[in-house]
Amino acid sequence: NVRGRAATSGFNFEFDLVTPLGTRATTLALAGEHNLRNALGAAAAAYAAGATVDQIVDGLGAMRAVAGRLELKPAIHGAFLIDDSYNANPSSLRAGLDTLQSLGGRRWLVLGDMLELGTGADELHSQIGAYARETGIEHLWAIGPRSKFAVKAFGKGGMWFDSIEELITAVQSALAPSVTVLIKGSRANKLERVAGALSIGAPTVAGGH
């Protein structure tokens, strides 16, 4: 029986790892409740395979986010971004929004279309727009034809763009300290370009603040 106890969230889970061999304070440098569950599953598998508690704790402590999967990065103008641009579906988008909500502060969402959703795609995008509003997102910046439905459901503070260049310019110009931006969409949206443009060291447009 391996479990976590009294976890604190954000971008570092700190929790007590409870095993039949003892309890150890553990840090997991990954965001999202789903990653904590996955880590506990990995710990249980490692214990069953004969790993010691020290080996399990060291292994969990060495885990890092895969590129484009809930990566927290410093952004221009003193902001932060969560690069989750690798892919998207409704459940992973909700998980990303939940993680963003746990951080507090001003929160924005850069959204690209979720692809391969079938006939219910428009409604699923509308639901994401509404959920973004419910979780306290201040601004929604979107690209892709389906994301228009998310913007409409989000309401005030939602903006849709014809091109990724226009979206990047708008977000760069508006970004400010205390803002954390979640970047999320299917791979075809190429939102890694947005993450690259907002990261520290990227060129910014005139008029940014």
Answer yes or no: is pLDDT of 80 > 50.
yes
Residue 74: CB atoms within 10 Å: 12
Q: Distance from CA of residue 69 to its chain's centroid?
A: 7
Residue 1, SS3 per DSSP = coil
Across the beta sheet with 3-8, the strand order is: 3-8, 13-19, 22-28
Task: Give the pLDDT confidence of 97-138 residue by residue, as tens digits.
Answer: 988 888 878 999 999 999 888 889 999 999 999 999 999 999
% of the chain at pLDDT higher than 70: 83
Q: What is the pLDDT of residue 203?
A: 45
pLDDT band at 1 (very low <50, low <70, confident <90, very high): low
DSSP 99-164: HHHHH-SEEEEEEEPPPS-GGGHHHHHHHHHHHHHHTT-SEEEEESTTHHHHHHHH-TTEEEESSH
Q: What is the mean pLDDT of residues 37-53?
A: 85
Tokens of 17: 């790892």
pLDDT band at 64 (very low <50, low <70, confident <90, very high): low
Answer yes or no: is pLDDT of 25 > 70.
yes
Lowest mean pLDDT among 15-24, 155-164, 195-204: 195-204
pTM above threshold 0.75: no
Mark 116-146 as b/e (b = at least 16 C-beta within 10 Å).
ebeeebeebbbbbbebbbebebebbbbbbeb
| Closest C-alpha among 47, 45, 66, 38 to residue 24 | 47
Lowest mean pLDDT among 1-15, 41-55, 85-99, 138-152: 1-15
CATH number of 71-198: 3.90.190.20
Q: What is the pLDDT of residue 27?
A: 81
Domain with CATH 3.90.190.20 in the chain: 71-198
Q: What is the pLDDT of residue 67?
A: 56
Q: What is the mean pLDDT of residues 188-207?
A: 74
Residue 20, SS3 per DSSP = coil
Residues 144 and 112 sit within 8 Å (Cβ to Cβ): yes
For residues 137 and 130, what is the distance between their CA atoms, to the nearest angstrom? 10
Cα-only R_g, the chain: 19
Q: What is the pLDDT of residue 164?
A: 94
